Structure 1
């Protein structure tokens, strides 16, 4: 990326920002200029945070989630249900699951999803690590929480077939109408899935 008259250090910063997902040239320029107008201490703090990010944050040796000391705090938490394993695509999916405060089991992160077009097969994902966890025993249910994309669904089907004879219950997170959602704003696939996965109405006491 070249901007005539731009100082080389600023151009380098703008170029680095533009390599981030969802950041175009104009946004990268705004970010670079914003940093330039801030106190030097802010830029130094950002540089230190980025350096520590790679030095101190990695992936859990057990589940594949974010970790600072080899194991993440989810795997080290003795209060979590080790018999239930939720399989997700990325570490950020674990963070989203935790926001709901409804799941108290353990996780397994694949670090991606099957995508033959992109050359991503089972060997490129953490299936071997999942095999070892299941072989170790103690897991009763595997919850497939991959995305609702074509590749995410293909990954879920692959997982279900791979472990159908593993002696565990394999379930899939439900899809459908979000809480507070209006039907007129839903696409036909979401609405169709909501109908297919309908549940019996549980009448509340006193109603």
Structure 2
């Protein structure tokens, strides 16, 4: 299953590249919980924060498709899923590029590809996680994935930079909020994780 690398390769910062190429273009800010508008010809790039990508089943249940973190692109041109929605999980700053801009710039195309590969690795990790029969194993794998994507080292372990609700976690692993609440309590008792004073998850590893 998911393995944490002890020597992570530094990620190239697409934000710096974009700011150099598109000086004077304003970033678009969204508050946590806001829905990000989607256009068939627009690609968004995350400059700050985390965006939740999801879809809805016919019965109204939500399924998590992934998390777009710093420098990651997302948008309708990059997906076949419908409906496809993006919601700011934290306050975010985004830059909007048109598909034509990306297609006409070899340098920009290359940078977008590099960060799409991060999304591919994340998607494969989520597919592997979905194959775990035990809900507890799926939750552990999800938290390890989040540790890599949005974790920041702290004195006690790794703090997830976004405050996740029990419903966020439940939607991601295909279970109920009540089950996630029970399992988080179990993991706390095992000293596997804790919540800090601002209700952020800290993985104690």
**Greater strand content:** 2
TM over 0.5: no
**Greater helix content:** 1
Structure (1 or 2) with the larger CA radius of gyration: 1
State TM-score, norm by structure 1: 0.31
Which structure has more relative contact order (CA 8 Å, sep 6+)? It is 2
